[in-house]
Amino acid sequence: MKREKRSDKIYKVISRHTQDLELSHLDAGLVFLQIQHLAQETGITPNNVSLEAKLLYEGGRLIRIGNRPVAYASLDHIEKLLGHTVETRVFPSPDSFIRYCLPGQESDAPRPRLHLAESFSASSFEHIIGCNESLSVPIKQAKAAMLYPPHGLHTLLTGPTGAGKSMFARAMFDFASRSGRIPTGKSLITLNCANYADNPQLLMSLLFGYVKGAFTGAERERKGLIDQANDSILFLDEIHRLSPEGQEKLFLLMDQGTYSRLGQTEQEHHANVLIIGATTENPSEVMLHTFLRRMTAQIALPSLRERTIYERLQLVIFFLWKESKNIRLRISIHSTVFNALCSYECSANIGQLSSDIKLACANAYFDYLSAVSPSMHVQLRHLTEQVRNGLYTIPTANNKLLDSILKNEQMTIDGACFFEQNLQNCIREHDDIWFSASISSANG
């Protein structure tokens, strides 16, 4: 029996959900046409669903609705629903699509808060590499923490340097915003405590604010980051560098929603702030236990070593794609270079991987400008010795797996194309069950 093409499978599901749309409930119906829902229903990864939907859209079969989350609908079925030709195939938002379908029925009432199902597919989590693999459990924990009534759970992110804790915190904020837990217009407030660890008083004044005369140079009262984060999220990176006094003041805020500014003894201020902290250390060794107990949700992010080979390959392609966009040149790369980048010991994790790829591209760019190379071609000589050594340490199983995944020996990364298109150009289609088993076997 001939296997159904991936694009046909996706189009069939989109067509069915488009047929099910009702003019009186368009907003709710669009949820089922979003990428994440389509991925769950078809069993195809969100990246591949997104790619195929874009190709179907470019081929004139779909219309595109909104952005982050994006929904796709069958053009034919929308025209049948409306009874006329649809002149445009892209709508910047669900509201604009609804206004097009129902002219003259606009309402001045505010749009209702996102449905839970919509918020699940509306966030940045679904754009994170590994969201369905090594990060699936941390993402589920983070969503639960953000949605728990009444204001979410204070959360501590743990993991080694470069594991992506800051990016993960931003995704948590995005999810909370889109699910209606945070009012529209609020921002994520961020502070790296390590930058002020040598000056605890300055760190405290930045967080809580101060009154006139609190210390030398305090000539007027000043609000702190707590004020800015009211009804929002405060992300404290390297939170273990916060002094014991600072931790005590912070857990008073977490418990009672009250705090005082530096130098203030009587007046109390009120704020509703959700705290997300991040640390590279063992929390029980560097933080007050009384403070740690108030970080109800504790989420551990994996190191790069703990990510699957497929995830690491996607990360390599992603960082090469970013560099290609930056320099506005296509980057040619041999499979041997991919093997090295996917195999070397990357002690500083994703941050180091990004830096090493940037340096390799800079070396290749210099050769390109010097006319040593007629095109932008990243070769082994452009890699640092540490990265090249990955070729000698790669396990045989991983080497065979990478060779089976990569489409060709020589590949091109094009920043002018979608990231998903570059993935498809470099990576073979695979059976998801076989692929997961192969990864598990390769990782031992």
Q: What does 249-294 look like in DSSP terms, one character per residue?
A: HHHHHHHHSEE--BT-SS--EE--EEEEEEESS-HHHHS-HHHHTT
């000056």: which residue's tokens?
A: 199
pLDDT at 139: 92
Q: What are phi and psi of 156, to 5 degrees?
A: -115, 120
pLDDT at 22: 82
- Tell me 190's DSSP state: E
pLDDT at 90: 87
Domains of the chain: 6-116 (1.10.10), 123-302 (3.40.50.300), 306-442 (no CATH)
Distance between first and last Cα of the chain: 34
CA distances to 109, 258, 277 from 184, in Å: 15, 23, 23
Token duo for residue 359: 């340096």
């560098």: which residue's tokens?
A: 241
Nearest to residue 153, comparing CAs of 273, 11, 20?
Answer: 273
Mean pLDDT of the chain: 85
Nearest to residue 184, comparing CAs of 92, 111, 259?
Answer: 111
Q: Look at residue 425 and give its three-state secondary structure.
A: helix
Cβ contacts of 322-328, under 8 Å, gap ≥ 24: 322/415, 323/357, 323/358, 323/361, 323/415, 324/413, 324/414, 324/415, 324/416, 325/415, 325/416, 326/415, 327/361, 327/365, 327/376, 327/415, 328/415, 328/416
Helices (H), 134-241: 136-147, 165-178, 200-208, 225-228
Q: How many of the other CB atoms lie within 10 Å of CB of 349? A: 21
pLDDT at 382: 96
Between CA 260 and CA 238 the distance in angstroms is: 23
pTM as predicted: 0.70
pLDDT at 114: 42
What are residue 427's DSSP bridge partners? 406
Q: What is the pLDDT of residues 381-423, one digit of tens each?
A: 999 999 999 888 777 666 677 777 787 888 999 998 888 888 8
Token duo for residue 443: 């990782």
pLDDT under 50: residue ranges of the chain:
106-122, 430-444
CA pseudo-torsion sign 109, 110, 113, 119? positive
Q: What are phi and psi of 334, to 5 degrees?
A: -90, 150
Residues in CB range of 140: below 8 A, 6 or more apart: none
pLDDT at 101: 86
Nearest to residue 70, comparing CAs of 37, 22, 21?
Answer: 37
Q: What is the pLDDT of residues 57-77, one digit of tens each?
A: 988 899 999 876 789 999 999
Residues in CB range of 358: below 8 A, 6 or more apart: 319, 323
pLDDT at 284: 92
What is the chain's alpha carbon radius of gyration, rounded to the nearest angstrom?
Answer: 25
Token duo for residue 5: 């093409």
CB burial of 377-388 (b: ≥16 within 10 Å; e: otherwise) equals bbbeebbeeebb
CA distances to 25, 192, 206, 235, 259 from 271, in Å: 38, 21, 15, 15, 8
CB burial of 330-348 (b: ≥16 within 10 Å; e: otherwise) equals ebbbbbebbbbbbbbebeb
The secondary structure of 379-423, three-state, reads CHHHCCHHHHCHHHHCCHHHHHHHHHHECCCEEEECCCCCHHHHH
